[in-house]
Structure 1
Amino acid sequence: MNFKNLNLINPIIRAVTEAGYSKPTEIQEIAIPHILEGKDIIGCAKTGSGKTAAFAMPILQLLKRHTPEHKEIRTLILTPTRELAMQIEEDLGIYSKYLPLSQLSIYEGISTGSLLAALRKRVDILVATPGKLLELDNQRHIDLSKIEILVLDEADKMFDLGLVNDIKKILKQTPQKRQALFFSGTMPISLKKFAETTLNNPVNITINPGALTAQAVKQSVYFVQKENKADLLIDILRKKDSIKSLVFTRTKQVANKLVQQLESVGIFAAAIHGNKSQEAKQTALDDFKNSRINVLVATDTAAKGMDIEDFPYVVNYELPNVPETYVHRIGKTGRSGTERTAISFCDTEECLDLKNIQQLIGFTMPVSLFQK
C-alpha cells in the first residue's frame, strides 16, 4: 500500500514524499478513504500512529476539490493545547506545500490584534484551542457558521482537561450539516457517547497500538548539564560501537552543530531537517541503510515518515516540549524483533518536560548519572 493507492492527489503525494513519508500507517490507510467520501469518523489510535496526517491530508484534498472565493473559515481543527496546535500547524504546512490553501492558528500567547488582521483574510483551515477560540467568538470576531469540516484532535485529552463544555459551545456555532472527525488516543465511554450523539452515522476505527506502546521500549534518562550533552553522547556512542542510532534534537541548528561535534571525534553522522534538500536527505538515509554512517541526527518534523524500521537505539538529545512527540520518537526503535532502547538527556531546563512525558507514558524512567 502506498499513498497513490489512497487516491490522494499529486500535490499532496509530492509534498509527503519530499518530507520522507514512504507508505501510510494503518490509521491513515483506513481513515483517508472514508474521509475523502465525506463520512464522519471516530478514530482511536495511540500517539505515534499518524493520526494528524490521517485527517489532514484528506481534508486538504477535499478543500482543494472546491476552492470558491470566500472569507469564511471552511475547516476547524480543535486541539487541547498550544503545543499541539503548533505541531498541527507545522504538519499542515508540510502537507499543503504545493496547494493554494491558507491556514491560521489560534492559541494562547498570540495577540488578538494580529489574529484579527489574519481573520479578515481568506482562511481555509483554522487550528485552535477551545479557550482562545471562545474568547474571540465571545467578542464576535469569529464566524463558524460556514464550517464544512470539523475535527476534534486528542479528544480524550480535551475531556480530561475539562473542556467538554467549551467544545459544546463551539459546536453550537457550527452548521449541523458538516463533516465531523473525532480522533483520540483512548475512547472512554463518556467520549464515545458524546461522539455518537454529535456525529452522523460515524465510521468507527480502532487501531491496535501494538509496538507503539511506550512500555515496549527499554527507557532511561540521564540528568546532564546542557554543555555536557555532546560529551555524554560521544561516550555512549563509542561504547555502543557500530549500533545504528537515531538522535533527536529540537532544532536544525543544534542538529548541525552536533554532527560537527561527532565527526570531529571520528563518529560519522548526518543531519536531517527542514533546511536539507530532498536529495541530501535521501543520501543520508541511503548512507545509513548501507552502514556508511551509523548515526542520524534529526528534528521531529524531518523524522516523520522515514523509511527505516530498525533503529535499535534512539537518543533524545533534547527532550520535546510536547509529551506525545516523545512517543513518536521512541516509536522509531527497532521493530523487527531487535531490542528496543531509548535514552533521554535531561538538563535543568527540561525537568518539567520530563515530568510531563513520564505522566503520559505512565511510569518513571530509571535514572543514570553522567560524570564528566
Structure 2
Amino acid sequence: MALPLALSGQDIIGQARTGTGKTYAFGVAMLQRVGKPRKNRKKPRGLIVVPTRELAIQVTEDLVTAAGKLGSRILTVYGGRAYEPQIEALKQGVDVIVGTPGRLLDLVKQKHLDLGQIDVLVLDEADRMLDLGFLPDIERIIKLVPAKRQTMLFSATLPGEIVALSRRYLNRPTHVRAENNDAEAEATPQTTQFVWRVHRMDKVEILGRLLQCEGRGLTMIFCETKRACDMVVEQLKERGFAAAAVHGDLGQSQREQALRAFRNGKIDVLVATDVAARGIDVDDVTHVVNYDCPQDEKAYVHRIGRTGRAGKTGVAVTFVEWEDLTRWKVINNALSLDFAEPVESYSTSPHIFTALGIPEGTKGVLPHANRSRAGLAAEEVEDLGETGRTRSRGRKGRDEEREERRERPARTRERRRTRGGRTGAEAAEVAGSQGAQPAVAEAQHEESGRRRSRGDRVSEETQAPLAARVESPIVEPAELEVDVDVTPRKDIRDDRPAETTSRRGRNRRAGLNPDVSLTEEGSRAEAAEVALWEDEQDWEDETPAPRPQPEKIIPPSPFAVIFQSPDLATDDDEIAPSAASERAQSRRRPQVRGQQRGPRRQG
C-alpha cells in the first residue's frame, strides 16, 4: 500500500504490525530514488534514523539484500564502535546512511558528515525514539537536511508526539495504516499465547522445563532489567542450556557476538531486555517467553512479534506475578485478549506439560545427552575498536576480572631516607669535603632538637663537649674514664639549689642537664647511659608491694539466693496513678461557672 506513494515522492506516515515488512516499504523506494552510485557523488542522499544499534544492523542487512543489483553504497553509523572506519567510508563516498541520532550528530559536529544533499529522510520506530528521549536530536537532524525532501515516518503506534512532529516537518503526509480499527495494536494471529500466574521463586524451574518442550527451536526470553537478564543467563547455564544475554550494560562487540551466535545456532536461548524487541528478525524463533510482565500493550506486541513472522507460527508464554496482575489486566483489556484471570501455575502443574507438549517426568535441568550446542564461546568476538569500556557478563565476568587484578604483580617501591635530596653516603662525602664544622653544627642541631622535645634547654657547656665528641676518634668502651662532679649547683631554669642527697634526683639531672667533666677519651652519652642504668636499679629496689585483693564470694550453688530484697508492699496499698490518667481525670471534672482555669491576664 505504501510503496506506490513512496515511489511518487509523497510524505508518508506508515503504521503496521511488527513483521509485516515495513523495512522494504521504505527501503525499496529509497534505493530506487537514490539510483546507482556515481564516482563524483560522495555525499549521502538517503538517511534512515533508528533508535537502537541492533535495529540499525538489521535495517542495513535488509537494504544490502535489496540493493544487490544496484550496488548502492550503504553505511551503518552507530555508537560503541571506532570512529575511524566510519570516517574513512564517508570520505570514499556513500549513498545511504543508517544510524542512531547520537553518532550522526557527533560526525556532523566533527565535520565528517554533510547532510546537505539528503533527498529522502526516514524515521523508523519513531515512537520508540520518543520514548528514549531522542526528540531534541531528531529535531536537530531535521534542521540539518534540506527543506525540499521526502520524509517517511514509520511506527507501530501513533502517539501524540508523532502527530505533532508530522504537522511540523512533513508536507501534507498520507497516513497509511495496516491495522484493525478496533484495537490500537493487535497481537500476531499466528502466535499461540499462554498467560500464567506464577511465583517468583518458581519461574526459573518452569522455564527450565519449558525449554525442553517438543518442537522448540530458537527461543527469546525478555526481562525487565539488565540484572535480571544476567541472573537468568547464569542459572540457565548452570542447568545446561546454551544461553547468552543482550542488554545495554554490555559492550557493542559482546552484543553483536551474542546475536551472531544466536543466528548461527551456536546458542538457542537469547535473554534480552526491550532493546532487542524492536526490529530484530531472526529465522526459526519458535518460542518467546516474557519472563517479566511487559510495561504496556505496545511492549507486549513487539515482544511476541519476534515469533510467528512471515506466515510462520510460534508460541508466546507470559509469566505474571501476583503484584503484576493489575498491569496485566490493563494490557489484556487494551488488546481484547481472553486472559483476564491468568491460571495459577507451578512447575509441577499438569496443564503446563499438556499445553506445551513437555514429556512427563521432565526436570528443570537439561540432560547431558541433549547438550549439543557449541555455546557462546565458540563465536569469536569482533574487534570493533569500542569507544567505551568493555563490560563483563554477570558474576562470572566480574570474578574473572578480580582474578586478573590479583595476578598483577604488586608495585615494589624502594624508599631511601635522604638529606637535602642526598642519600647518607652522599651526605657523608659532602661533609668530609667541606670539613668537620658542618658535621658539628648538624650534630648540635639534632642534639638540641632532642633536648627541646624533653622540655630542657641547651647550654654552651653542652655544645663544647659535643664538638669534642664529633671531632674525636671512636674509642672502645674499656678505655673510657668518667669523673662525675657532684658539687651542688644551681639549676639553670629557676636558680634554686639542686638536690644532691637523693641519688635518683642526681642521676635524673645527670641525664637531662648534667654537670659532668669528661676526659678527652670520654663521652657524655656513655655517662648518661651509666646514670640511667643506676636509676633503673633504684626503681627496682623501691618497687611497692602488691595491694591485697578482696576475697571473692563464691556461693555453694549457682542457684543459691545470696540476697533478696524485702517486700515492703501490703494489700492496702493503692497503685499510684500515671500522668496520663491524671490528665484524663482532670478533663472529666465539671467546671464551675465563673471559675478561671488560669491566672487572668493583666491588661
TM-score class normalised by the smaller sequence: 0.5 to 0.7
Note the alpha carbon deviations across 1:276-300, whole angstroms, 9 max, x for none: xxxxxxxxxxxxxxxxxxxxxxx94
Match of 1:223 in 2: 204
Select 1:45's aligned residue among 4, 10, 16: 16
Higher strand share: 1
User: Quick check: 1:140 aligned with 2:111?
Assistant: yes
- Looking at both structures, which has the greater relative contact order when contacts are Cα pairs under 8 Å and sequence separation is at least 6? 1
Opposite residue 111 of structure 1, the aligned amino acid is: A
- Over 3 Å counting, the alpha-carbon distance change for 1:214 and 1:368 in structure 2 is farther
Please list the CA deviations of residues 320-367 of structure 1 after superposition, one character each: whole Å capped at 9, or x if unmatched.
xxx8874333334988xx9x732599xxxxxxxxxxxx99x969x998
Whether contact under 8 Å (1:214, 1:327) holds in the other structure is no
Residue 161 of structure 2 aligns with an amino acid whose one-letter code is S
Partner of residue 371, structure 1: 364
Q: Does 1:93 align with 2:61?
A: no
The 2-side partners of 1:257 and 1:183 are apart by 33
AA aligned to 2:46 is T
Where does structure 1 differ by over 6 angstroms across 4 or more consecutive aligned residues?
Answer: 213-216, 365-368
2:44 to 55, 60, 73: 73
1:1-372 to 2 correspondences below 5 Å: 30-64=1-35, 69-208=40-179, 209-212=185-188, 217-218=193-194, 223=204, 233=211, 235-237=212-214, 247=218, 250-251=259-260, 300-302=281-283, 314-316=286-288, 326-332=303-309, 341-343=315-317, 371-372=364-365
Change (3 A) 1:66 1:119: closer
1-side partners of 2:264 and 2:110: how far apart?
43
- Sort the Cα spacing of 1:316 and 1:62 in 2 relative to 1 into closer, same or farther, 3 A: same
Deviations 1:118-164 (A, max 9, x none): 11012111011111111111111110000010001111111112211
- Structure 1 residue matching 2:305: 3-state secondary structure: helix
**Residues 107/334 of structure 1: CA separation in 2 closer, same or farther (3 Å cut):** closer
CA drift of 1:165 comes to 1.1
1:18-54: per-residue Cα shift (whole Å, max 9, x none)?
xxxxxxxxxxxx1111101111101122333321121
Q: What amino acid maps onto 2:204 in structure 1?
A: F
Distance 1:35 1:246, change over 3 A: farther
Larger radius of gyration: 2
Q: Distance in 2 between matches of 1:121 and 1:154?
A: 29
Q: What one-letter code is carried by the residue in structure 1 that aligns with 2:164?
A: K
Task: Find the residue that maps to 2:213 and give its secondary structure.
Answer: helix
Which residue identity is paired with 2:115? L
Residues 145/135 of structure 1: CA separation in 2 closer, same or farther (3 Å cut): same
Aligned-partner residue type, residue 314 of structure 1:
T
SS at 1:94's partner residue?
helix
The secondary structure found in structure 2 opposite 1:330 is coil
Q: Contact between 2:125 and 2:156, CA under 8 Å: does it hold in 1?
A: yes
- Relative distance call for 1:368 and 1:166 in structure 2 (3 A) is farther
- 8 A contact 1:333–1:342 mirrored in 2: no
Q: CA deviation at 1:83?
A: 1.8
Quote how far apart the aligned CAs of 1:67 are: 5.7
Q: Within 2, Cα distance between the matches of 1:326 and 1:302?
A: 15
Amino acid of the structure 2 residue aligned with 1:223: V
Residue 144 to residue 253, structure 1, CA distance change in 2 (3 Å): closer
Question: Could you tell me how far apart the structure 2 residues matched to 1:368 and 1:168 are?
Answer: 49
Whether the 8 Å CA contact 1:104–1:118 is kept in 2: the answer is: yes
- Partner-residue secondary structure (3-state), 1:212: coil
Change (3 A) 1:214 1:161: farther
Amino acid at match of 2:194: K
Are the counterparts in 2 of residues 246 and 314 from structure 1 also a CA contact under 8 Å? yes
- Distance in 2 separating the partners of 1:207 and 1:325: 16
- For the residues of structure 2 that align with 1:344 and 1:112, how far apart are their CA atoms? 41
Partner Cα distance (1:58, 1:67) in 2: 19
Q: Contact (CA 8 Å) 1:79, 1:158: kept in 2 or not?
A: yes
Q: For residues 341 and 202 of structure 1, what CA distance do their matches in structure 2 show? A: 37
Closer, same or farther: CA 330–68 of 1 in aligned 2, 3 Å: same
- Work out the CA distance in 1 between the residues paired with 2:32 and 2:310: 32
Which letter does structure 2 place at the counterpart of 1:160?
D
Distance 1:212 1:175, change over 3 A: same
| CA distances 1:41-74 after superposition (whole Å, capped 9, x unpaired) | 0112233332112111221222237867410111
Counterpart residue identity of residue 100, structure 2? T
Paired residues of 1:71 and 1:123 also in contact (CA < 8 A): yes
> RMSD of the TM alignment (CA)?
4.1
The DSSP-based 3-state class of the residue aligned with 1:206 is: strand
Residue 218 of structure 1 deviates from its aligned partner by: 2.5
1:301 to 1:175, Cα distance in 2 relative to 1, 3 A = same
Distance 1:42 1:190, change over 3 A: same
Counterpart of 2:91 in structure 1: which amino acid? R
Output the TM-score relative to the length of structure 1: 0.60
Q: Percent identity?
A: 34
Cα distance change of structure 1 residues 162 and 255 upon mapping to structure 2, 3 Å threshold: closer
* Change in CA separation of 1:119 and 1:248 when aligned onto 2, cut-off 3 Å: same
TM-score of the superposition, structure 2-length normalised?
A: 0.38
Tell me the distance in 1 between the aligned counterparts of 2:194 and 2:32.
Answer: 39
Instruction: Show structure 1 runs of 5+ residues with no match.
Output: 1-29, 238-243, 260-298, 304-312, 346-357
| Contact persistence 2:46–2:120 (CA under 8 A) | yes
Distance 2:18 2:315 in 1: 18
Name the aligned partner's letter for residue 212 of structure 1: T
